Structures are given as structure tokens and as C-alpha cells.
Amino acid sequence: MSKSMPMRRSYRRYYREFFPAMGAYVLFMLFAWPYLGHVQAPALKAVLALLPVVPVALVIRAMVRLVLASDELEQRTHLVGLAVATAVVGVLSLAVGFLAAARVLDLDGTILLWVFPVLMVVYAAGRAWANRRYGVDGFCTDESAVRAWQFLLAGGVLLLVAWLGNGHMKDYQVGMLAGMGCSWVAAAGVLAVRRWQRARRRDAGEQD
């Protein structure tokens, strides 16, 4: 058998479920959400406002299915990541909530939109920390791998949309797309270098 391992079925299913749902969310937020202000009927407004929750729920479903199909070490690192995220977001929410209650901060309900993204970022950081403890390079595992060229392609598409939308879209939308595109291109570079380093180590016989 070859040294490289094909992506496991659970990960293939995860990416098959994750990317379309995330794509639908991004498209909705970029192209449909800005028109919400023009809708007058409260019922229709509520339905439109709740629509982005559907793809996010599908993303969460994909993540749950992935965790359930993970092996025992992966499940342990997921647990550490979730524990860290729960603790950090819980303490942050309490702190911000108390500051708002004391009228030190003037916040409205839209602050709640940040809870899920912050949870995901801290979860990823917590899992990366747990992975390091077990000697796992979480950024370029065999299965969790989105290939460098896929990052590059996604980044290129985002930059192209930003360039085409310049003048038609609002500045913050163009800026967000350009920022995301640059991040993905940078991630492709980091991923390519890490994989090259790992391949070199493997060729030198350090891994197997």
C-alpha cells in the first residue's frame, strides 16, 4: 500500500455537506441580506432574517456527524476544543453582559451574532492546542486536508468577485471579500510549505 492515506469517508462527507451550506450562507449574506431593509411586512422580514440560520444549522449538523465518526483521539481533541470554547465564550458573554447591564457598554441584540463565530474560532484554537499535545499537526493532517490548490482557488474566486463587485457593492462588502480572499491565498501558501516540509521529513525516514 502507498504511504499516503486517502481521505476517510467521514471527512469526504463532511466537506460535501460543509462547503455548499457555507457557500449558501455567504451568498445570502452578501446578496440578499442588504435588501432586508426594503422589506416592510413583519412576517416576511422575520422569515428573511431567519433564513441564514438554515445553512448554519446544516454546517453544525455536518460538524456533529464528523465528530461522531471521528476516532478516539480526534474525539478527545474535539472535546478539548469545545471545552475551551465554552469556557472562553461563557466568561466573555458574562463579562460583556454585565458591562451592558451596568450601562458601561451600549450594546444592542446584534452583538449576539458574534457568539457563534467567536465560539468557532476559539474551538479551532483549542483543538489546535490539544493536537499539538499529541504531536498532531492539525493544519495538514491526511484527512482533514483541504488541499492547497483548493484554498488558492477559493481565494482567487473571492478576489475576483471583489474586483468585479468594486463599484457595485458597498465598500465593506468589497473589503470583506478582498480580506477573505487574501487570507485564503495566504493559507494556501502556508499549507503548501507545511506539506512540503512534511513530505521532506517523510522522505528522510523520520515518520515511518
Partner 1 sequence: MNNHVRQLRSELGWSQADLAQRLDVSRQTINAIETGKYDPSLPLAFKLARLFDRAIETIFEPGEE
In the bound state with partner 1, the residue whose beta carbon lies nearer, of 8 and 194, is 8
Q: Is 1 in the site for partner 1 (CB under 8 A)?
A: yes
> Nearest-CA neighbor of 173 among 48, 50, 29, 77?
29
DSSP 88-116: HHHHHHHHHHHHHHTTSS---GGGGGGHH
Q: Interface with partner 1 includes 136 (CB under 8 A)?
A: yes
| 3 is an interface residue for partner 1 by CB under 8 A | yes
Number of CB atoms found within 10 A of residue 144's CB: 18
Q: How many residues does the chain have?
A: 208
Q: Least distance (Å) from partner 1 to the CB of residue 57?
A: 27
Binding segment for partner 1 among 54-62, 114-122, 126-134, 162-170 (CB under 8 A)?
Answer: 126-134
Stretch that binds partner 1, among 34-42, 69-77, 102-110, 176-184 (CB under 8 A): 69-77
Contacting range for partner 1; rule: CB under 8 A; set: 70-78, 91-99, 147-155, 164-172: 70-78
The residue among 11 and 25 lying less far from partner 1, judged by its C-beta, is 11
CB 49, CB 29: distance < 8 Å: no
If 0-12 CB within 10 Å is exposed, 13-18 middle and 19+ buried, where does residue 96 land? middle
Residue 141 found at the interface with partner 1 (CB under 8 A): yes
* Shortest distance, position 73 Cβ to partner 1, whole Å: 4
Q: Is 72 in the site for partner 1 (CB under 8 A)?
A: yes
- Give the whole-angstrom CA distance, residue 86 versus residue 118: 10
Q: Give the interface segment with partner 1, choosing from 54-62, 103-111, 113-121, 131-139 (CB under 8 A).
A: 131-139
CB 130 within 8 A of CB 146: no
Exposure string for 170-202, b = 16+ CB within 10 A, e = fewer: eeebbebbbebbeebbebbeebbeebeeeeeee
Q: Does 4 bind partner 1 (CB under 8 A)?
A: yes
* Binding site residues, partner 1, CB under 8 A: 1-5, 8, 71-74, 131, 133-137, 141-143, 207-208
